[in-house]
């Protein structure tokens, strides 16, 4: 692909960033109220208001008692100069950045994007900014991300781990003692809290439903086992099967990564089996999509030839063919909840807490259910 480029005519944005006519000599120019060329500092405001910087600071931050008149004068000056305090300087002094680090395996995944959105909203509300790092599904980069964040002195950390060992995490974050809440991908035994989906409950719902439909030869497309969610789901699968007295066939359990392509590949293998499973449980929407794609190319019909259910209800779930039976939950909520816990942890020393977000079963046609009367 080639890009088309076109050079614009050069615009004349004034950028005399280095012009030295700061506020040292308050020139009597005709338009003193216009936004200053160099960014105004607290000193500029103070000078203009005819007070000291400390007074100016207090006036702006509403601290200590001070004459209403001076306060007004300062505020006025600040407004006129369009003063924006430097977050950098303030943070350096106060040792608080009001910034939290957000680390995920892959921002472009709908799940993490939604979680990010949820968290962002809550954090902004509480006055925090988000610094985002994408670990690219890679432990080393996750570690690097944490270090970067720490060097920026974030006040807190929201992390969905790619599967980092505890020792590594504590080594990096331990010394800084930065409050951390995990979500989805948890590092066991550390952090001030964690919020996860009800993986066990969801998988149980799915397995039970498949069994209700009469299936016993159930295959599973398990996601990456390095991530806590993937491991939890596979574990839950075995438990749920055992509860029905069914022992899963080894050939039917496919551990793979989370991408559509992985699901497709695993699906092809499953379908090539001489005695294939009659139902498939996909650990994520992507894996289900991959399986559907595999089934389509093999000419296998879902649900007639093989039933399919998934953990994750994509927003286009009922526009697929067939509409996908899935476990649904609110991805935004998981982020929002994690953010809430973090805010609390940053404010006070709270005890650690673990919360799990509930899930529900959405019955559609891919499992063999009949469509309901109407929508």
Partner DNA sequence: TTGTAAGCGTTATCAC
Partner DNA sequence: GTGATAACGCTTACAA
Q: Which of residues 32-91 bind DNA (CB under 7 A)?
A: 39, 41-43, 50-55, 57-58, 60-61, 63-67, 69-71, 83-86, 88-90
DSSP string, 13-36: ----TT---SSSS----S-TTSPP
Task: Report the partner that residue 193 touches, choosing among a second copy, DNA, none (CB closer than 5 to 8 A by kind).
Answer: a second copy
Q: Scanning the structure block, which residue is given the tokens 């309901």?
A: 372
Of 109, 107, 101, 207, the residue nearest 147 (C-alpha): 101
Per partner kind, with CB cut-offs from 5 to 8 A, the member of DNA, a second copy, none near residue 83 is DNA
Nearer Cβ to a second copy, position 255 or 260?
A: 260
Burial class for 290, CB neighbours closer than 10 Å (0-12, 13-18, 19+): buried
The least distance separating a second copy from the CB of residue 206, rounded to whole angstroms, comes to 19
Tell me the closest approach of the beta carbon of residue 346 to a second copy, in angstroms. Answer: 12
The one-character DSSP state at 304 is: T
Decide which of a second copy, DNA, none touches 58; Cβ closer than 5 to 8 Å per partner kind. DNA
Asked whether the bond before 303 is cis by omega within 30 degrees of 0, the reply is yes
The least CB distance from residue 55 to DNA, in Å, is 3
The 10 Å CB-count burial string (b at 16+, else e) for 194-229 is bbbbbbbbbbbbbbebbbebebbbbbbbbbbebbbb
- Residue 43 binding partner per list DNA, a second copy, none, with a CB distance cut-off of 5 to 8 Å that depends on partner kind: DNA
Partner that binds at residue 55, options DNA, a second copy, none, CB closer than 5 to 8 Å by kind: DNA
Residue entry with tokens 């953010």:
339
Burial zone of 49 (CB within 10 Å; 0-12 exposed, 13-18 middle, 19+ buried): buried
Which residues are CB-contacts of 257 (< 8 A; sequence separation ≥ 6)?
137, 223, 224
For DNA, the closer CB: 67 or 167: 67
| Binding positions for DNA, 248-287, rule CB under 7 A | none
Residue placing its CB nearer to DNA in the complex, 116 or 346? 346
Give min distance, CB of 256 to DNA, in A.
Answer: 43
250, exposed or middle or buried, with CB in 10 Å at 0-12, 13-18, 19+?
A: exposed
The minimum distance between CB 57 and DNA, in angstroms, equals: 3
Task: Answer with the entry of a second copy, DNA, none that 15 interacts with (C-beta below 5 to 8 A by kind).
Answer: a second copy
- Minimum distance, C-beta of residue 78 to DNA, in the bound complex (Å): 10
Number of residues that bind DNA (CB under 7 A): 33
- Please report, as ranges, the residues that interact with DNA according to CB under 7 A: 39, 41-43, 50-55, 57-58, 60-61, 63-67, 69-71, 83-86, 88-90, 92-95
């Amino acid at each position: 692909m080639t890009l088309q480029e076109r050079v614009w005519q050069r615009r004349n944005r004034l950028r005399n960033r280095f012009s030295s006519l700061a506020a040292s000599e308050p020139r009597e120019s005709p338009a003193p109220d216009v936004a200053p060329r160099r960014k105004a500092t607290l000193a500029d405001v103070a000078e203009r208001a005819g007070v000291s910087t400390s007074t100016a600071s207090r006036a702006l931050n509403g601290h200590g008692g001070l004459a209403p008149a001076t306060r007004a004068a300062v505020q006025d000056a600040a407004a006129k100069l369009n003063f924006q305090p430097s977050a950098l300087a303030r943070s350096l002094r106060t040792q608080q950045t009001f910034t939290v680090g957000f680390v995920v395996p892959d921002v472009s995944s709908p799940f993490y994007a939604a979680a990010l959105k949820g968290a962002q909203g809550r954090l902004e509300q509480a006055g925090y900014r988000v610094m985002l790092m994408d670990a690219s599904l890679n432990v080393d980069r996750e570690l690097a991300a944490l270090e970067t964040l720490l060097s920026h002195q974030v006040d807190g950390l929201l992390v969905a781990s790619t599967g980092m060992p505890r020792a590594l995490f504590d080594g990096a974050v331990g010394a800084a003692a930065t409050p951390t809440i995990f979500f989805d991908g948890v590092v066991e035994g550390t952090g001030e809290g964690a919020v996860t989906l009800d993986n066990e409950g969801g998988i149980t719902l799915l397995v039970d439903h498949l069994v209700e439909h009469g299936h016993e030869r159930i295959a599973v497309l398990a996601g990456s086992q390095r991530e806590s969610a993937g491991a939890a789901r596979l574990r839950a699968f075995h438990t749920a099967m055992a509860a029905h007295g069914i022992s899963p066939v080894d050939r039917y359990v496919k551990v793979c990564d989370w991408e559509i392509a992985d699901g497709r590949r695993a699906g092809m293998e499953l379908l090539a089996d001489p005695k294939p499973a009659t139902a498939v449980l996909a650990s994520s929407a992507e894996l289900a999509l991959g399986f559907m794609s595999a089934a389509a190319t093999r000419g296998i019909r879902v649900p007639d030839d093989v039933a399919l259910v998934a953990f994750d209800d994509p927003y286009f779930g009922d526009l697929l063919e067939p509409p996908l039976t899935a476990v649904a939950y609110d991805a935004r909520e998981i982020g929002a909840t994690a953010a809430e816990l973090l805010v609390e942890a940053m404010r006070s020393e709270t005890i650690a807490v673990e919360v799990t977000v509930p899930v529900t079963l959405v019955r559609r046609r891919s499992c063999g259910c009949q469509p309901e009367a109407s929508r």
